[in-house]
Structure 1
Amino acid sequence: MKKILLLAVICFTTLCSYAQFESSKQVYESPKLKEAIRTHKLVAILPFNVKISYKRPPKNFDAAANRQQEIQMGKNIQGSMYTYLLRKADNYTVSFQDVEKTNVLLNKAKFTDSLEMHTKDEIAKVLGVDAVIYGNYDQETTKSEAGAIVTTALLGFGSKTGEGGITMQISNGADGEMLWRYTKRMNENLLSSTDDVVERQMRKISRNFPYSK
C-alpha cells in the first residue's frame, strides 16, 4: 500500500512539474504585422540555431561532435516544421517553400554557414520569398539516460530528462523587420524526438500563428 501511495505521489508531482514548467510562453506582434502579412504569399523556413548543453557532460564528451549534432538538429527542426505546416496547408493564408530548395539556394549563395552574418531581407531576396521563419532551440540535459529509463519503467511514461526552450520568429522579406516572435520553455523526456518536440510546440503555436486563417 505504501509503495502504491508513493508511486501515486511521484506521478502527481511529475505531472504538476510538467504543467508548471510548460505554462511559460511569450508572444510579440509588431504593430505592422497585420498590414505586412496581407502581401505575403510564399514563406521560407530557415534551419534553426540549436544549442545542446549538459548539466553534467557525459564521459568522452566531444565538442566537435556535439556541434555537428546541433547543426543536424537545426535542420531536423526546419524539416519537421515544414512537414507540420504542409500537412495543414489549408489552414494557412500562405505557402511554404520546400526546405530542400531553401537549403540549396542558401548553399549556392554561400549563406549556409553564415546566416547570422546576413540580414533577413538579404536572405529573403536570395530565396525569393516574402518572409522568413527562423529561430533558436536550446536543450539542456539534466538526467542521465539510465536514470530516465528507470523512471520510465516505474511510472510507465517518459520522464523529464532535461529542459528546452524554443524561439520562433517571422521577419518581413521586404525590409527584414521582425513582425512576430514566440518563445516557450518546455520539458524534455527520454521518448522525445525532434518530430515530437515540433509537433507539441506547433500545436501550441498555431493558436497565435499569424498566418492561420
Structure 2
Amino acid sequence: MKATQFFLVLLSFVLTGTASYGQKNIYESRRFDELTADHQVLAIVPFLTQLNLKEKISTEDNRQLAEREGYAVQDALEGYFSRRKKKKRFNVAFQNTKNTNAILAQNNITYANIDVFTTKQLAAILGVDGIISGSIDLNILLSKGVSTEFSFFDYFNEDSDYGRIGIKISDGPTGKLLWRYEKEINKKTGKNTSELIDRMMKLAAKKFPYDKERKRKKKK
C-alpha cells in the first residue's frame, strides 16, 4: 500500500509540474496590440541550431547538420501556417520561405552570419512587418526522425530528453519582442521536425496572437 501511495504521489508531482511549466512557457508583450496594429506580412527565418550529438563528428559536419536542422524548423513552421491559414483565419500573411531565403542570399545573408543582423535590419531587407525566428538545442537529428516509444520512467531518464526549442516573433520597425514560446523536446513531442512544430503550435493555438478568433474574444 505504501509503495502504491508513493507511486501516486510521485505521478501527481510529475503531472503537476508538467502542467505548471506549460502555463509559463508563453510570453506576450503588453504592447502587442499597439505594435502590431498595422502588421500585414511576417517572415520566417531559419532557426539557429546548437547540436550536442553523442557521436563524434567533425566541426564542419556539425555545422552542416545544424544548418539542416535550422532550415527544417523554418520549413515545418511554414507548413503549419499554410495548413491552418484558412481554418484559423490569421490576420497576417506569411512570406514564402523560398522568397525569404532568396532575398537573404541576394543580400549576402547566410545561415552562418544571419545572427549578426538585427530584427529591424532583417525586416527592412525582407520588406515585412515582423520576423519569426528562434533557436533549437538538440542532442539528436530530429529532422531524420526519432523513436516515439515512451514510458513513465522516461520522465526520469536523461536519454529521453532531446533538447529545447524557442520560437519568437519580433516587431520589424522597433525590433521589440512581441511573443515567445519555449518547449522542451522529448519522445512525446513527435517523431520528426514537422510533428514537433505541429504539436507544439497546436498546444499554443489559443495563445497565438495573430489568430482572428482570439482577437475577437479579447475585445469582448
Please give the TM-score of this superposition, normalised by the length of structure 2: 0.74
Q: Percent identity?
A: 28
Partner SS for 1:129: coil
* Offset at residue 152 of structure 1 (A): 4.7
AA in 2 matched with 1:84: Y
**Structure 1 residues 153 and 51: CA distance shift in structure 2, 3 A:** closer
Give the match's secondary structure for 1:168: strand
**Matched residue SS, 1:31:** coil
Q: Aligned partners of 1:47 and 1:212: how far apart in 2?
A: 23
The answer to whether structure 1 residue 68 and structure 2 residue 64 are counterparts is: yes
Counterpart in the other structure of 2:76: 80
Give unmatched runs, 5+ long, in structure 1: 1-8, 142-147
Give the paired residue count.
188
Whichever structure has more helix as a proportion of its residues is 2
**Mind listing any 5+ residue stretches in structure 2 that lack a counterpart?**
1-6, 141-145, 213-220
Q: Does 1:34 align with 2:33?
A: yes
Residue of structure 1 in register with 2:216 after alignment: none
Write out the 4+ residue segments of structure 1 that deviate beyond 4 Å after TM superposition.
16-23, 151-155
Displacement, 1:191?
Answer: 6.8
Kindly indicate whether the alpha-carbon contact (under 8 Å) linking 1:37 and 1:211 is maintained by their aligned counterparts in 2. Answer: no
- 1:5 maps to which residue? none
User: In structure 1, which of residues 21, 24, 31 is the aligned counterpart of residue 21 of structure 2?
Assistant: 24
2:135 aligned partner: 136
Deviation at 1:85, TM superposition (A): 0.3
Alignment partner, residue 52 of structure 1 = 51
- The 8 Å contact of residues 190 and 196 in structure 2, kept in 1 or not, is answered as no
Q: Is the 8 A contact 1:52 1:140 kept in 2?
A: yes
Residue matched to 2:106: 108
Structure 2 CA distance, aligned partners of 1:186 and 1:22?
15
User: 2:160 & 2:39 partners in 1: Cα distance?
Assistant: 40
- Aligned-pair distance for 1:84? 0.5
Cα RMSD for the two superposed structures? 3.0
Q: Distance in 1 between matches of 2:189 and 2:28?
A: 34
Aligned equivalents of 2:27, 2:151: Cα separation in 1: 40
1:135–1:168 contact (8 Å) kept in structure 2:
yes
Once the 2 structures are TM-superposed, how far is the Cα of residue 18 of structure 1 from its aligned partner?
A: 8.7
Match of 2:124 in 1: 125
TM-score by length of 1: 0.76
